[in-house]
């Protein structure tokens, strides 16, 4: 099953699972539809090698997905409001009635947290990490991230030309929720002048000083790359809306408009905003993600055959390892002040929203530090 937000590479991993199961072990595979919803509602389809032929380069997921289907906290609409019920026993009954040996759960932190709860109740799960946010602990990289990074970088590249032409401050907002990996790396790859990420609350005066310094040097445009979860020192993240029935109802977004308004007021320089949003989730996976997804999918089947349940396939360097799903659930891998890429950004003179002379560590918010 594929759970959580979609990303490029999901079909590549499904293809690897089905082909490895068939070629190496003669195992039958079924795919639950729409994440854990399919397990609870007993909705599934058989998957054979013909079903996964030609989907390696296809974005999205042929199984569908859901980011609001935790079996232990399952939303059910009663009237105008949702109530949350424990449907894990129903999911276990469906699993057992189909005579299955294991469930391969492909997803991010929400899927791994839901899987950890199901493992406690006896479901044999093997996890595969995916997310464009790249924020899962226990693995160096998740598939989907490289593809989103390529899309974000291309967008920053294209925005450079109009920024130069009109002498504007261009602000590009990318996804990532509470982790700044996508903003940091796309800012570095795209030549961003200012990069603002959730882990380091920013000072708007420092941002404006960086813009004015560039203008004083004859660089009459600036590129700002901002993660959707960024927030000012002492301020809050911008919430675009809340979604009823979702395990994580908060939808971040819109911080770029707030920054644009403040920069215009404080510098008298025209700003424009581009929010990439779900564009980052779509499209064909990069070659890196196709190979990563294929390796992870094949190894997950080998782990099922070895009955290594309760583990998530992980990448450590160039080697495939595994880590307990319970050690992944409920945690996030965030950008730290001493990360090499942060130091690289500082060496290049990129503004990270911190006033001159203030060490980056002092700007890390207390809740992120915890």
The 3-state secondary structure of the chain, one letter per residue:
CECCCCCCCHHHHHHHHHHHHHHHHCCCEEEECCCHHHHHHCCEEEECCCCCCCCCCCCCCCCCCCCCCECCEEEEEECCEEEEECCHHHHHHHHHHCCCCCEEEEECHHHHHHHHHHHHCCCCEEEEEECCCCCCCCCCCCECHHHHHHHHHHHHHHHHHHHHHHCCEEEEEECCCCCCHHHHHHHHHHCCCEEECCCCCECHHHHHHHHHHHHHCCCCCEEEEEECCCCECCCCCCEEEECCCCCCCEEECCHHHHHHHHHHHHHCCCEEEEECHHHHHCCCCCHHHHHHHHHHHHHHHHHHHCCCCCEEEEEECCEEEEEEHHHHCCCCCCCCCCCHHHHHHHHCCCECCCCCCCCHHHHCCHHHHC
Residue 81 bears catalytic tag: no
Q: Exactly one of 109, 133, 135, 146 is catalytic; which is it?
A: 133
Return the active site residues.
Answer: 133
């Amino acid at each position: 099953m594929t759970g959580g937000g979609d990303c490029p590479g999901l079909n590549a991993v499904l293809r690897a699972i089905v082909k490895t199961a068939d070629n190496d072990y003669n195992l039958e595979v079924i795919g639950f539809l729409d994440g854990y919803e399919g397990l609870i509602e007993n909705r599934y389809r058989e998957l054979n090698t013909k079903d996964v032929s030609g989907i390696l380069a296809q974005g999205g997921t042929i199984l569908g997905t859901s980011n609001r289907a935790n079996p232990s906290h399952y939303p059910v609409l009663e009237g105008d409001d949702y109530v949350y019920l424990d449907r894990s026993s129903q999911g276990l009954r469906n699993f057992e009635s189909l005579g299955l040996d294991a469930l391969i759960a492909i997803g991010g932190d929400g899927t791994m947290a839901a899987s950890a709860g199901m493992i406690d109740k006896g479901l044999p799960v093997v996890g595969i990490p995916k997310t464009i946010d790249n924020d899962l602990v226990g693995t160096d990289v998740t598939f989907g991230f490289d593809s989103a990074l390529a899309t974000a970088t291309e967008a920053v590249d294209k925005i450079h030309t109009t920024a130069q032409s009109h002498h504007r401050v261009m602000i590009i907002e990318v996804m990532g929720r509470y982790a700044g990996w996508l903003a940091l790396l796309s800012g570095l790859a795209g030549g961003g002048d200012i990069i603002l990420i959730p882990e380091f609350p920013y000072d708007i005066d420092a941002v404006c000083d960086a813009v004015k310094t560039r203008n004083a040097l004859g660089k009459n445009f600036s590129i700002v790359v901002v993660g959707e979860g960024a927030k000012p020192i002492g301020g809050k993240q911008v919430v675009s809306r809340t979604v009823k029935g979702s395990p994580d109802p908060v939808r971040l977004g819109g911080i770029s408009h707030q920054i644009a308004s403040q920069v215009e007021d404080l510098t008298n320089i025209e700003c424009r905003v581009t929010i990439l949003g779900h564009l980052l989730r779509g499209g064909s996976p990069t070659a890196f993600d196709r190979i990563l997804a294929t390796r992870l999918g094949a190894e997950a089947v080998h782990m099922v055959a070895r009955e290594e349940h309760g583990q998530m396939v992980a990448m450590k360097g160039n080697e495939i390892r595994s880590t307990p799903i319970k050690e992944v659930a409920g945690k996030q891998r965030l950008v730290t002040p001493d990360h090499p890429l942060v130091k690289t950004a500082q060496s290049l003179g990129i503004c990270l929203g911190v006033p001159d002379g203030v060490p980056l560590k002092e700007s890390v918010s207390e809740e992120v530090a915890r």
